[in-house]
Amino acid sequence: MRILTALQLALALSCLIQLTGCAVNPVTGNRNFTLMSEADEMREGRQAAIEISKAYNTYGGLPALQNYVNEIGQKLARKSHRPQLDYHFTVVDSPEVNAFALPGGHIYLTRGILAYLNSEAELAAVLGHEIGHVTARHSVQQYSAATAANVAAAVGGLVAGIFVPQLGGQLAQGVQSLLGITGSALLSGYGRSHELEADRLGAEYLARSGYDPQAMIKVISVLKNQELFDIEAAKQEGREPRRYHGIFATHPDNDTRLQEVVGEANRYVQPGKIDDRRAEFLHQTEGMIFGDAVSQGVVRGNTFQHKQMGFRLSFPSGWRIRNKPDEVVAVSPDGEAMVVLGPLGDQRGAPADLAQERFRPESPAEILSMTHNGLPVAVVTSIAQGERPFKAAVIYHEDKAYLVAGRGDSPAAFARYRDAISSTIESFRALTDAEKKSAKALEILTIKATNGLSYAGLAKESPLGINAESYLRLLNGQYPEGEPAAGQIIKIVK
Ligand SMILES: [Zn+2]
């Protein structure tokens, strides 16, 4: 679903290239060439917001949290260089870690990024940075640089990336390259100079609103740690690391220029005691969903289950599992084998017919029809020379078809993992009524740390899987080595 909307988004953004000559930049006072008029900027922002609303749902789990984020955002916006704009601040229902701004003042945060923040000041820093992009009109400048030809080329590449197990990673890359052209401005930042300017402006708005501008550096450090951890996890999972918004990617938190631009905001600091309002922030985010929503299917330990689709499947234990919008991918600990689970849409004929259509094996005899756990299944095994061997199954469940496919990077790797791949295929089964009832998303809760409590100890009880200890530290801003102090309020996931 997100793939089509990303495509629509890119096409919508390509329409933003409407140059209206020179205009005055609200932040610098300089005249920028290639800036669209403010009316055009507003209109394009509204159109892009419609596209965003197709790609992301508003997070509805905690209505008070939406109000809270909006209030903080409006407070900062009133102290910005463009206080007259009609700002909108929305928490979207995504486990991704991201924040982005559209032209004209539509600003979005994922619930994924909120999970890793630890105070209202850090939330304000993220919002202030995004407001900075709006007030300095970075998106307008960036969109002017994109061309329709680039978008067309990326779209061509994307359409080629249809879902077949051998191409699992290419699809993601197709989306990424698409975003890399027009959406990069939106989802991954604007390049170093604009990011630094947004940090500078954000720090100024923080100070003017009664927060410590150093929260900007703190939040960059928190999210940088998240990113460093994800690079490690991505290596283990054999995937590309997530590309976050540029504040985290383009400069380290100890960067001299960053220290300088944030330091400039000190002159705006309000007299009196500065409170980062940590307790209030933790209160507002208590009960927020962490990770996958139930509607996206949930991973618990090595099992994936999808309540609406009504099935579960167990991946080999110790494999890294990633629940993506269009598929679930599990990678062996050494990265040499993977299993992909994905929907194939409606049933057409028998499972063997779909398997034939999809894999076109040399002879129909290579397709074996059978029943697993009461479900009709067709299994294809390919160990042809010169190709990466794979074993795949088309499984019919209720009125839909699913694909479970495992492959090794080499014949030796495939031989080593063949049993694990077979067991995964055979574990696909319908959920029981009791399992459907008990399916629930993970939530952020807070506890008061007792003496001697450690993240390793908490990880043992955690549903977060093999990286639980790192996740708990990241969630509490204590990555990579911190431990809870006695009496400290910390976030856990239940
Ligand atoms: Zn930015």
**Residue range 318-345, pLDDT digits in tens:** 888 887 777 898 989 888 999 999 999 9
Using the mean position of ligand 1's atoms as its centre, give its distance from the Cα of residue 187 in Å. 9
Using the mean position of ligand 1's atoms as its centre, give its distance from the Cα of residue 136 in Å. 11
Please return the burial class of 226, using the count of CB atoms within 10 Å of its CB with bins 0-12, 13-18 and 19+.
buried
pLDDT at residue 169 greater than cutoff 60: no
CA distance 403 to 316: 17
Is 338:349 a contact under the CB 8 Å cutoff?
A: no
**pLDDT interval class at 446 (50, 70, 90):** very high
Task: Report CA-CA distances (Å) from 467 to 70, 319, 330, 474, 484.
Answer: 33, 11, 14, 11, 18
Using the mean position of ligand 1's atoms as its centre, give its distance from the Cα of residue 195 in Å. 5
Q: Which residues contact 161 (CB under 8 A, 6 or more apart)?
A: 167, 170, 171, 173, 174
Instruction: Note the pLDDT tens digit of each residue in 116-126.
Output: 999 999 999 99
Pinpoint the residues of the chain covered by CATH 3.10.350: 441-493
**pLDDT interval class at 194 (50, 70, 90):** confident
Using the mean position of ligand 1's atoms as its centre, give its distance from the Cα of residue 296 in Å. 28
Pinpoint the residues of the chain covered by CATH 3.40.1000.10: 294-437
Is 60:42 a contact under the CB 8 Å cutoff?
A: no
Using the mean position of ligand 1's atoms as its centre, give its distance from the Cα of residue 111 in Å. 17
**pLDDT interval class at 141 (50, 70, 90):** low
> For the chain, what is the HEC assignment?
CHHHHHHHHHHHHHCCCCCCCCEECCCCCCEECCCCCHHHHHHHHHHHHHHHHHHCCECCCCHHHHHHHHHHHHHHHHCCCCCCCCCEEEEECCCCCCEEECCCCEEEEEHHHHHHCCCHHHHHHHHHHHHHHHHCCHHHHHHHHCCHHHHHHHHHHHHHCCCCHHHHHHHHHHHHHHHHHHHHHHHHCCCHHHHHHHHHHHHHHHHHCCCCCCHHHHHHHHHHHHHHHHHHHHHHHCCCCCCCCHHHHCCCCCCHHHHHHHHHHHHHCCCCCCCCCHHHHHHHHCCCEECCCHHHCEEECCEEEECCCCEEEECCCCCEEEECCCCEEEECCCCCEEEEEEEEEECCCCHHHHHHHHHCCCCHHHEEEEEECCEEEEEEEECCCCCCCEEEEEEEECCEEEEEEEEECCHHHHHHHHHHHHHHHHHCEECCHHHHHHCCCEEEEEEECCCCCCHHHHHHHCCCHHHHHHHHHHHCCCCCCCCCCCCCEEEEEC
pLDDT at residue 36 greater than cutoff 90: no
Using the mean position of ligand 1's atoms as its centre, give its distance from the Cα of residue 248 in Å. 8
Using the mean position of ligand 1's atoms as its centre, give its distance from the Cα of residue 425 in Å. 43
Using the mean position of ligand 1's atoms as its centre, give its distance from the Cα of residue 97 in Å. 13
Choose from 5-14, 152-161, 268-277, 384-393 the range with maximum mean pLDDT: 268-277
Span 441-493: which CATH code? 3.10.350
What pLDDT, on the 0 to 100 scale, is given for residue 344? 92
Please give the residue that has the higher pLDDT: either 153 or 94: 94
CA distance 255 to 432: 54
Please give the residue that has the higher pLDDT: either 56 or 487: 487
Please return the burial class of 99, using the count of CB atoms within 10 Å of its CB with bins 0-12, 13-18 and 19+.
buried
Using the mean position of ligand 1's atoms as its centre, give its distance from the Cα of residue 38 in Å. 20
pLDDT at residue 95 greater than cutoff 90: no
Average the pLDDT over 277-298 and give the result. 92
What pLDDT, on the 0 to 100 scale, is given for residue 386? 64
Using the mean position of ligand 1's atoms as its centre, give its distance from the Cα of residue 139 in Å. 10
What pLDDT, on the 0 to 100 scale, is given for residue 31? 62
Q: Does domain 294-437 have CATH number 3.40.1000.10?
A: yes
